[in-house]
Amino acid sequence: MMFFGFIFLIGQAILAYQTVPGTHETQKIVHLTLHLIAIILGIVGLCAVFKFHDMMNLTDVYSLHSWIGIGTFCLFGLQWLLGLVFMFQASPQSRNSMAPWHVAGGRALFFMAICAALTGLMEKYTSSKLLPHQRESRLINFTGLAILLFGVFVDMAVGLARFP
């Protein structure tokens, strides 16, 4: 759920400006909607994690994974709110001055989400005490590589879109 919401959907939202046909307003609505769905899935995912930790009597927010994840989620919520304010209610001059910050912040948050996912996979690998050549170990490694490559390709698509 967290992968689908915070990596896949955010990646799609980032790409919406390059892939969604139609007006700029249509692209904005798709971008906003995908991010809203990601926030909802993030809330559900965080609630599930805290509920699981309570059921298993595990400590909450103790690992690098959880710190990065919660920090990313909070900053993402702030980015979304600021995007709402500046992109729909601000003057064109304010929107133009904030747009580069919004894009840079969004790309940074996307990679923070990827870091959270990768540290989460490593945490799962370590806590499961898997042997190096077990199927689960390979699955974790390939999943991590796929997540990383997805992030790299999304970022390259955004970065290279500025150079026709």
pLDDT digits (tens, 9 = 90+) for 123-137: 989 888 888 888 998
pLDDT number for residue 122: 94
For the chain, what is the domain count? 1
CA 88, CA 86: separation in Å to the nearest integer?
A: 6
Q: Residue 54: how many CB atoms within 10 A of its CB?
A: 10
Question: Could you list the residue range(s) of the whole structural domain that residue 19 is in?
Answer: 2-160
CA 46, CA 26: separation in Å to the nearest integer?
A: 30
The CATH number linked to 91 is: 1.20.120.1770
CA 149, CA 145: separation in Å to the nearest integer?
A: 6
pLDDT number for residue 73: 95
